[in-house]
């Protein structure tokens, strides 16, 4: 295998490996990968899948509006910004309700 040396003003020498030697190490057999999906695909797209998709789109739209206008979502609707304690309480309530729905959904299966 021939290795060429290249001189530069920043580096005294850099080793350059020809591309033909790299091809030998990169050629490997492909292995099959299976991905297990937790959603039921037999009955088509169920309501919870569509609600999740809608929620993701709504979240992306809300973030885009906040970035574009420089105001929070409530300020764009003309509502005053809530106190930090109120915002924290609403966040805690949403978190608790989300956990309840997740555990309830897991117990049905």
* Residue 1 confidence (pLDDT): 47
Q: Is pLDDT above 60 for 98?
A: yes
Q: How far apart are CA 31 and CA 96, in angstroms?
A: 42
pTM above 0.75, yes or no: no
Q: Is pLDDT above 80 for 17?
A: no
* 3-state percent breakdown (helix, strand, coil) of the chain, nearest 5: 55, 5, 40
CA distances from 23 to 28, 31, 100 (A): 10, 19, 53
54 and 48 Cβ atoms separated by less than 8 Å: no
* Residue 7 confidence (pLDDT): 47
Q: Is pLDDT above 90 for 55?
A: yes
Domain positions in the chain: 45-78, 81-109
Q: Bridge-partner residues for 16, per DSSP?
A: 4
């Amino acid at each position: 295998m021939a290795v060429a040396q290249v001189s530069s003003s920043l580096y005294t020498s850099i080793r350059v490996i020809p591309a033909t030697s790299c091809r030998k190490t990169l050629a490997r057999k492909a292995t099959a990968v299976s991905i297990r999906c937790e959603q039921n695909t037999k009955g088509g797209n169920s309501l919870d899948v569509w609600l999740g998709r809608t929620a993701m789109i709504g979240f992306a739209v809300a973030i885009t509006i906040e970035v574009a206008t420089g105001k929070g979502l409530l300020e764009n609707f003309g509502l005053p910004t809530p106190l930090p304690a109120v915002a924290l309480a609403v966040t805690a309530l949403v978190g608790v309700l989300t956990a309840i729905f997740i555990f309830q959904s897991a117990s049905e299966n």
